[in-house]
Structure 1
Amino acid sequence: MTTFDVATPDGAILKARREGSGAPLLLISGLGGTAAFWNGTVEALKDVAEVITFDQRGIGGSSRGTVPVTIAQLADDVAALLDTAEIATATVVGHSTGGAIAQSLAIRHKVHVGALGLSGTWLAPNRYMSALFAARLSMLAQDPAIYASTAALFAYPPEWLETHFEVHEAAVAKAPRDPAAQAVVRERIDALLAFDGRADVERIAVPTRVIGAEDDAVVPAFLQRALAAALPGAGLAMLPGGGHFFPQTRGAEFTQIVRDLLAETA
């Protein structure tokens, strides 16, 4: 594994890493924004791809910078990362908020995107997610530990979480108690709720796979189906379960879908 820094025009420094060999595969994480979300995925795919992951601005080891955080800006950050890594074109897989970023990247910097994996993500604002994240913002303001606890409870299937409860405990321990950390969470939630890809979705012309889980309680399955229906020629792969964080809870099935996408676009 090698690490590298990405400097953005507004002064943010993004911490990135690359591991494995083969065609480049860029993984974009969701609201949490960390490279660590993909640790298991990297381990499973580094034999067939050079896998690139990173902490998004203001998250983990990456500094915040000065520009407003929007999905478009986060897509521009990804383009800067690929330029720094001297990668002309990559297969890009984004989960949840990362899927919104990947859609924006495919529009704003289409030369960088050879294929798309859109995992647990959505196309346009909807009442379900608006209500859910309004409640989560209220929890964040009142009690960060409750915010972190309920985030984990929504993200994982109950039976899986019961046998991996250390994941819940770790989430609570890392709750965003600092005001600056809370501000980063709030601006990222505002950005994801403002994302609307309907005007540009037909311009996404690369091979695309939409991936979802039937029991996702954060970005429900009906949103995966709507996204796939709006994308010209997109494939749809629905897992029977796994919750919102199915790349972790159904890792073997998820990575097989990504392997198939890499093979089809080699």
Structure 2
Amino acid sequence: MTSGPTPVDTPDGARLAVFEDGQGPDLLLVSGLGGTAGFWAAAVPALARAHRVTRFDQRGIGASRRGTAPCDIDRLARDCLAVMDARGIATTVLVGHSTGGAIGQALARLAPDRLRGLVLSATWLKPSRYMTALFGTRRRLLDLDPVAYAATGTMMGYAPAWLDAHWAAFEAATAHAPTSEEARRVVRERIDALLGFDGAASVAAVRCPVLVLGARDDLIVPAFLQEELAAALPPGRRVVTYEDGGHFFPVTRTPDFTRDLLDFVGSLT
């Protein structure tokens, strides 16, 4: 049963809306550019059967207040630490999707003793021409037409057949497009944060076990970027690549995602 949202305050005035489900060893779920706890809704029931699952709306997103600190990947990683400290989580397996995976890499550098394991889902190692062009284009579209920004992101993020069969996901995304100036400001700074992330100098020093998850038809973080990330990690990392599912495969392939995640977590005990 979800107990939340519980507010967690940070020194700069951000107030993070935190949700918890289940009991047992800790899992911290960190979502991507959208930054919502709700991204994980489909996966939580399976994960919470034997784990305490913690997730939160990131600063300035959903029910969370923005605060005043500049937003970069390290700041978002420190927000994870604030949540862990407030909720009594000594160590956790962090599951980071897309930008959440960049946040996870930053946390592995900033506080390696707080991670028992790290799951890097549809994420990347360092800037590439592809992602720089893609998110630069999306940033411009955000200012020109925020509804089109939300629509194109949804169409790129989901496998087409899945989205056609689950059209409510498209309708929800466009209904919640960042149409206000404040909402666009938050998205802009998050795009800048992800484009500014470069984990190449520190990833080889990651001490905890790592699982890399990806999909071959991901148009936002293509498989070649996930392969580059896996190759840079220390020996012993696991890699699972789905043949399809799109960028949002935790939603489109929830049973496979939760199975592979739980298999990895089970190997750590």
Question: Normalising TM by the smaller chain, what interval?
Answer: over 0.9
Residue 255 of structure 2: aligned partner = 252
Q: Give the Å deviation of 1:197.
A: 0.3
Correspondence for 2:15 among 13, 28, 44: 13
Contact 2:77–2:106 (CA<8 Å) still a contact in 1? yes
Code of the aligned partner of 2:218: D
In the alignment, does 2:205 pair up with 1:191? no
Residue aligned with 2:42, SS: helix
Contact 2:32–2:100 (CA<8 Å) still a contact in 1? yes
Residue 107 of structure 1: aligned partner = 109
Residue 2 of structure 1: aligned partner = 3
Residue aligned with 1:93, SS: strand
Residue 179 of structure 2: aligned partner = 177
Taking the aligned partners of 2:23 and 2:88, their CA distance within structure 1 comes to 15
In the alignment, does 2:210 pair up with 1:225? no
Contact 2:151–2:174 (CA<8 Å) still a contact in 1? yes
Residue aligned with 1:87, SS: coil
Code of the aligned partner of 1:158: P
Residue 62 of structure 2: aligned partner = 60
Q: Give the Å deviation of 1:165.
A: 1.1
Q: Percent identity between the aligned chains?
A: 51
Code of the aligned partner of 2:7: D
Code of the aligned partner of 1:252: P
Residue 36 of structure 2: aligned partner = 34
Contact 2:121–2:212 (CA<8 Å) still a contact in 1? yes
Code of the aligned partner of 2:3: T
Code of the aligned partner of 1:250: R
Q: CA RMSD in A?
A: 0.7
Flag structure 2 segments of 5+ consecutive residues without an equivalent.
Answer: none
Residue 148 of structure 1: aligned partner = 150
Contact 1:217–1:244 (CA<8 Å) still a contact in 2? yes
Q: Give the Å deviation of 1:196.
A: 0.0
Residue 166 of structure 1: aligned partner = 168
Flag structure 1 segments of 5+ consecutive residues without an equivalent.
Answer: none
Summarize deviations over 1:51-91 as a string: whole Å, max 9, x none: 00000000000000000000000000001110001111001
Residue 239 of structure 2: aligned partner = 236
Taking the aligned partners of 1:162 and 1:235, their CA distance within structure 2 comes to 32
In the alignment, does 2:204 pair up with 1:202? yes
Code of the aligned partner of 1:23: P
Q: Structure 1 stretches (4+) deviating beyond 4 angstroms?
A: none
Taking the aligned partners of 1:237 and 1:22, their CA distance within structure 2 comes to 25
Q: Give the Å deviation of 1:222.
A: 0.5
Q: Give the Å deviation of 1:261.
A: 1.3
Contact 1:88–1:111 (CA<8 Å) still a contact in 2? no
TM-score normalised according to structure 1 size:
0.99
Residue 88 of structure 2: aligned partner = 86
Alignment: residue pair count: 266
